[in-house]
Amino acid sequence: MLFVIIGRDGPKGKSLRPGLRAAHLDHVRHFEAGGHVALAGPFTDGKGSLLVVRFRTIEQAHAMADADPYLTGGVFESVEVHPFLRVFPETPPKATLQ
């Protein structure tokens, strides 16, 4: 199942982000290696980030979001996790779930 994770930057996000970037990327890479990350990246307006992830349950998606160094380190002021239904493209990419 797909989930969207939206991390919204807090007032200190811009200044905290550089120091936490490597840890955040390692966190996302860990889940990418398990086949869980469909896409991820920052909003170009500097207001946060978006991840589209694959998990069996919303609890697993929340666990990933809650452990992100950008959240625990204060870059993200808040995180939203929503179930997501992909409609396009109509042919889904190959994925494995763990």
Is the domain spanning 2-84 CATH 3.40.50.300? The answer is no
Q: Check residue 46 and give left, alpha or beta (phi > 0: left; psi -120 to 50: alpha).
A: left
In tens digits, the chain (98 residues) has pLDDT values of: 999 999 999 999 999 999 999 999 999 999 999 999 999 999 999 999 999 999 999 999 999 999 999 999 999 999 999 999 999 988 766 766 65
User: Which pLDDT score is estimated for 97?
Assistant: 62
Query: How far is CA 72 from each of CA 23, 65, 77, 96, rounded to the nearest angstrom?
Result: 11, 10, 9, 28
Please tell me the distance from the alpha carbon of residue 71 to that of residue 83, in angstroms, as a whole number.
20
User: Which pLDDT score is estimated for 90?
Assistant: 85
Please tell me the distance from the alpha carbon of residue 32 to that of residue 96, in angstroms, as a whole number.
11
